[in-house]
Amino acid sequence: MVICSRCKSNEAITRIAYAKMNLCIECFKKFYVNKLKKTIEEYHMINGEDIVAVAVSGGKDSVALLHALRNAYPKLEVKAIHINLGIEGYSKHSQEKVEELAKQLDVELHIVDIRKEIGISIDDFKKTKFKGKMCSVCGTVKRHIMDEAAMNIGANTLATGHNMDDFMTFMVKNFITRQWNQLVKLKPVVPPLMSGMPKKIRPLIKFPAEENMLYCYYTKIPVNEVECPHSKGAKTLEVMKILNELFKDEPNMKYQVLGSFLNLISLLEDAMKEEGVIPCRKCGFPSKDGLCSYCKRIELVKSISK
Ligand SMILES: [Zn+2]
Ligand SMILES: [Zn+2]
């Protein structure tokens, strides 16, 4: 039996390779919440007066984030936002899990059902030119609705559950395709693009997917384990697989590469002049040409559904 390196009494259930520690269940949970606190403080993500909306999809990352944030800062004003995307065989189940969790944690939950509120579902994009890019179009729609929902409930900060593997994947993808505009957005904290919009924070930037999974497992919180039917074969999943293979024997290197990317991004940001944004004529959100990418996509899908 391997003994926990922290309490030196219980049996260890996991090894945190980059920290060279074996931890038992209780010490792992403490380690996780502590690491979240440290990350939030390192990047000055939250101050005492903030009202934080957590975007909870029901997947392991966002669920772990909401639970651990509650534990780390019991006095912080936290609300949860869930978007029902109207995805057949997926969305209903996700919503149920999030409702269960919010109840358990006694967190105010706001649900946006896009079929009711906008009159479309993500599945409708199957009939458009976005049919091969379902994750990307879903991302655009979600980002817009999350911002809007956070503003509607008076939150000035929006926390999302992007984990370390998501970050690394986006970074590599945008690096290879030279999407510098997208690359500079990959930061732990993104200030509001326009006044009145929430600041965005990504507290799980240093948490590999498996740590979030373990946290969910050992805290026994409700998680949606059904995979989104549109994510099958997504390019990002392939990049993620390759990266995991690359860092398999060198867990520390993952942190080094993440650090190098964050460094590069801040240099890039200084070198690049912030592109001018103008308000969208339909929704008032930032856009490049007067109609934001969200409104363009909704217009398209509505014109085809008719
Ligand atoms: Zn222990
Ligand atoms: Zn718009």
Residue 132 lies in a domain: yes
CA of 112 to the centre of ligand 2 (A): 17
The per-residue pLDDT for 275 is 63
Higher pLDDT, 304 or 24: 24
Rounded to 10°, the helix 25-42/209-219 angle is 130
Report helix, strand or coil for 220.
Answer: coil
Ligand nearest to the CA of 10: 1
In the chain, the amino acid numbered 294 is: Y
The torsion defined by the Cα of 90, 233, 163 and 78, in degrees rounded to 10, comes to: -20
pLDDT greater at residue 227 or residue 258: 258
- Residue 32 Cα to ligand 1 midpoint, Å, equals 13
**What's the rounded Cα separation, in Å, for the pair 224 and 284?**
34
Is 26 within a domain?
A: no
Res 95: pLDDT? 95
Q: How far apart are the first and last CA of the chain?
A: 64
Integer Rg of the chain from CA: 20
pTM for the model stands at 0.90
* Structural domain includes residue 27: no
Q: How many structural domains is the chain composed of?
A: 1
Any domain includes 6:
no
Ligand 2 centroid to residue 226 C-alpha, Å: 31
In a domain, 14, yes or no: no
Is 5 within a domain?
no
Domain of 263, CATH number, reads 3.40.50.620
pLDDT (tens digit, 9 = 90+) per residue, 50-94? 999 999 999 999 999 999 999 999 999 999 999 999 988 889 999
Task: Answer yes or no: is 140 within a domain.
Answer: yes
Nearest ligand to the CA atom of 218: 1
3-class SS at 202?
Answer: coil
pLDDT at 272 over 80: no
Whole-number Å distance, alpha carbon 35 to ligand 1 midpoint, is: 16
Domain-located, residue 119: yes
In which domain, by residue range, is 214 found? 37-305
Confidence (pLDDT) at 136: 84
pLDDT for 195 beyond 90:
no
Is pLDDT of 273 > 70? no
